[in-house]
Structure formats: C-alpha cells, structure tokens
Amino acid sequence: MSPLDLERSESWLTHEELDAARERLPILYVDAVPVRVDERGALTAVGLLLRASDGRINRELVSGRVLYHERVRDALIRHLEKDLGPMALPQIPASPQPFTVAEYFPTPGVTPFHDPRQHAVSLAFVVPVAGDCHPQQDALDLAWLSPQEAGEPSLLAEMDGGHGVLLRQALAHLGHAL
C-alpha cells in the first residue's frame, strides 16, 4: 500500500487530542501564496482570501495543517483546492521548495507570526495556479491583485497573524521588493 492509499480519517485527531497536542509540541503547517503568471513566468497577480474570524474580516493566504503521513506537496494541493476550488489547477513542482519558514507562536512578539492556539512551524510556498478559482469553505471572497496592490501597506495591515509579513516576503522573493 502506498502512502497515498492510506485512509486519511485515521490520521485526524479529535478536537481534544488536537488541543492536547497543541499544548505540547509544534504543529506543521503550509502557507501558500497563490499567484498568476504570464507565459514567461512573470508575476501578474496575487490571490488573497477574505475571511471572517473573531468578529473581524481579514485578508489571508491559503494555510493549513499537514496531516500525519501526508507529503507536503499533497498538503499544498489539498489546501489550495479546499480554499480556491477543485478547478484551481495549482502548478506545484515535483519537489517543492519553500521560500521561507515561518514560526508562529502563541505569545505575541516572539516572531512576526502569531497564532494564539499554538506553536506552529509553517513552510511557505509561492504557487502558480492556472485554473478557475472561486472562494470555498469559509472564505468570503478571493481577490486577484496586482503585485503593487498586494504590497500596499493598508492591505498588508489587514492581514492578521503575520500573513502580511509572509506576503511581503513572497513578493520580494519574486523580485517585487516594496
């Protein structure tokens, strides 16, 4: 049996088990910056989700946990399709390389990344998407912004938990320093 054939439900933790794990060890996540590129591979647009949480509406990146026995590549595809739809067609290389690693802490100020629930380590990727994207799950909207619009300080300030920092780093990684 290959790892892809494993029953994923066996790897899910109950809410109680997840809370207990979050209190004791870092949890692995992936963050993805969905982008559109032209035929030469130049960045044309950045996709940002709009979500409501804790009574606020924020712009966010695609983000989520890596499951037990799940390849990072498969976690990226799963979260991109969950948030952008099954026809997003993410273009993930055979051996994806993160542009940075973000460490989220429950204590604000340790790093620019904050998650009040847990200590999480996230591998952050820029992922071109070629298909038709629509907000899914709890996302209210998906906006495609030019690199200049995505780098606006007012927009970056709308992003909670350090996602604005990750977006700024992704733009710099793609040659769009702010």
Q: Is 1 contained in some domain?
A: no
3-class SS at 174? Answer: coil
Q: Evaluate whether residue 87 is within a structural domain.
A: yes
pLDDT at residue 54, rounded to an integer:
77
pLDDT at 1: 45
User: Which pLDDT score, from 0 to 100, does residue 8 have?
Assistant: 53
SS3 content of the chain, % helix, strand, coil (to 5): 25, 30, 40
Would the pTM count as exceeding 0.95?
Answer: no
pLDDT at 2: 47
pLDDT by 10-residue block (mean), the chain, 178 residues: 50 80 88 96 95 87 94 96 95 94 95 94 97 90 96 92 96 88
User: Range of 58's domain?
Assistant: 25-173
Residue 9's pLDDT is 53
Q: Looking at residue 17, what is its pLDDT? A: 86
Please identify which residue in the block is written with the tokens 């991109």: 80
* Lookup result for tokens 């989520």: 64
3-class SS string, 47-101: EEEEEEECCEEEEECEEEECCCCCCHHHHHHHHHHHHHCCCCCECCCCCCCCCEE
Give the total number of structural domains in the chain: 1
Q: What is the pLDDT of residue 53?
A: 78
Residue 8 placed within a domain: no
Which domain CATH number covers 86? 3.90.79.10
**How are beta strands 56-60 and 120-128 bridged, if at all?**
unpaired
